[in-house]
Amino acid sequence: TSLANDPSAAPAWVKANVQPFPGVSFRYIAVGNEVTDSAGQKTILPAMKNIQAALVAAGLSGSIKVSTSVRFDVVENTSPPSNGVFADTSFMGPILEFLASTGAPLLANVYPYFAYKGDQQNIKLDFATFVPGSTTVTDNGLTYTNLFDAMVDSIYAALEKAGKPGVKVVISESGWPSAGGVGATAQNTRAYNQGLINHVRGGTPKKPSLLETYIFAMFNENQKTGDPTENNFGLFNPDKSPAYSITF
C-alpha cells in the first residue's frame, strides 16, 4: 500500500533493494503475486507506476521491467483456447495499457496441475503432463497435445481481445507437486517439469517461439501451511538433496 500511496516509498525501496546489488541481474520486478482481493488490486497499478518512475530516476528502467504476476484464472472461457478473455477488464485493462507503454511482459502463473486436479473426468493425466497420448484438441486449425499450450494460448487470445496483442507473456511460475495430493507423485512431477523444460524452447501452437518460463519451486517447503501439495513443488528437498532427477 505504501508503494502505491507514498511518493517517497518507491525510490526508497529501489535504493534499498536494487541499487546496492549491481552484480545481480534483475530482470523483472513483480508488484504483487496473485492478488485477488479488490482492495489489493486497486493498489497494484499505482505501485507499478511508482516503481517504474523510481527505476527511471535511478537510470535502471532500460534493464528492469515492472509487471505483476497473475493467477491463470484472470482469464475465463479458456476452452477452446481461442475463446480466452480476461474476466475483469476493469482490473486488467489499465495494467495492460501500462505494460504496453513500457514494453514489459505480463507475468502469468500457469499450473496445469490444478486444472487436472479439479477436472479429472475431462482432463487426462497424459495431456496435463506432456506425456504423448491420444488426447488432442483442435482449435482454429491449431492442434494441442498438452494442456500447458492450451492454457498459455488462451492468455494470448485474451490479450488480442483486449486490444493488446503485442504484450509479451512470461510464465512466472509453473510446476507439479511430487506428493500430498491426487496425481502428486515424483514420476508425474518429473514428466511435467522435464516436459516443460524441453517444450518451451519451441513455444506454443499460436506463438511458436521461445517462451520464457520459470519453474516453481527450487525447494520443497516443509514448513509451509495450507494444502499438503504446497509443501512439495520443489526440485530439491530442504536438506538440498534432489527431490527427483531432472535435466536442464
Active-site amino acid positions: 34, 173
Cis peptide before 208 (omega within 30 of 0): no
Rg, the chain, Cα only: 19
In whole angstroms, give the CA distance from residue 72 to residue 111.
Answer: 8
Close Cβ partners of 222 (under 8 Å, ≥ 6 residues apart): 231, 238
Q: How far is CA 51 from CA 2, 38, 109, 114, 151, in A?
A: 11, 21, 22, 32, 30
Cβ neighbourhood burial of 138 (10 Å; 0-12, 13-18, 19+):
exposed
- For the record, the C-alpha cell of 153 comes out as 494460448
Q: Which residues of 153-187 are buried (b: 16+ CB within 10 A; e: fewer)?
A: bbbbbbbbbbebeebbbbbbbbbbbbeeeebbbee
DSSP state of 183: T
Distance CA 101, CA 129 (A): 36
